[in-house]
Amino acid sequence: MAADQIHIKDLLLRTIIGVNEEERHNKQDVVINITLYTDHTAAAASDDIADTVNYKTIAKQTIKLVEESQFYLVEKMALEIVKLCLADPRVERAVVMVEKPGALRFGRSVGATIDRTRAELGLPGKLA
């Protein structure tokens, strides 16, 4: 597996998320961090966006997914974002952290991280 990475850090979005009644009616902030494992060899040689995973595309797809969702758990949201990332066959592994700032009275945030490879999700590609 390639050790090269693309990072999308601190994507701040608003969505319906949570299990409590109030959370089902009022949008909350979520902070999303994504790490994509891919091979940068071709892109580094060519200096051409066509030879890499376009992080702007991944970010736009993530924004659409999250803003239109109504998940109960941050774990489910993180898994769905991982699946979105792995839809690009050049992404070998995706690590997604979703946090809910202020979810705990005395804590800055609460979150979950999902780390999956193409093979773990049964997707075709280099690792399948």
Catalytically active residues are: 100
Say if residue 127's pLDDT is above 50: no
Strand order in the sheet with 5-15: 5-15, 28-37, 93-101, 109-117
SS3 21: coil
The residue ranges of every structural domain in the chain are: 5-121
- CATH architecture, domain 5-121: 2-Layer Sandwich (3.30)
Question: How far is the CA of 38 from the CAs of 75, 101, 103, 118, in angstroms?
Answer: 23, 29, 33, 11
105-115 average pLDDT score: 93
- pTM value? 0.92
- In the prediction, which pLDDT does 123 show? 87
